[in-house]
């Protein structure tokens, strides 16, 4: 009878531990997703800024050519 109770307790402990690990893994995956999304947003913002700067330079160069 003691072995049965110990076996039940061990199974319950493993079940609770595995559920906790799944939650921790899910939280880590969510944090990784947020980090990746933030990185992508930063790269896209830098690219947009560079494109805007290039467009401003092109417009300035074109205006200088027309003025000549």
Task: Return the SS3 of 26.
Answer: helix
Residue 68 DSSP one-character state: -
State pTM to two decimals: 0.51
CB atoms within 10 A of CB 38: 10
* pLDDT surpasses 70 at 62: no
Residue 20 exposure: Cα atoms within 13 Å on the Cβ side: 6
Calculate mean pLDDT across residues 1-30: 79
CA–CA gap between residue 60 and residue 36 (Å, rounded): 36
CA–CA gap between residue 31 and residue 25 (Å, rounded): 10
Q: What's the pLDDT at 46?
A: 94
Q: What's the pLDDT at 21?
A: 75
């Amino acid at each position: 009878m003691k072995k049965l109770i110990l076996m039940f307790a061990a199974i319950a402990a493993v079940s609770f531990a595995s559920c906790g690990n799944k939650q921790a893994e899910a939280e880590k995956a969510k944090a990784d997703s947020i980090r990746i999304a933030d990185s992508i947003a930063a790269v896209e913002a830098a690219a947009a800024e560079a494109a805007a700067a290039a467009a401003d330079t092109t417009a300035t160069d074109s205006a200088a050519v027309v003025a000549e």
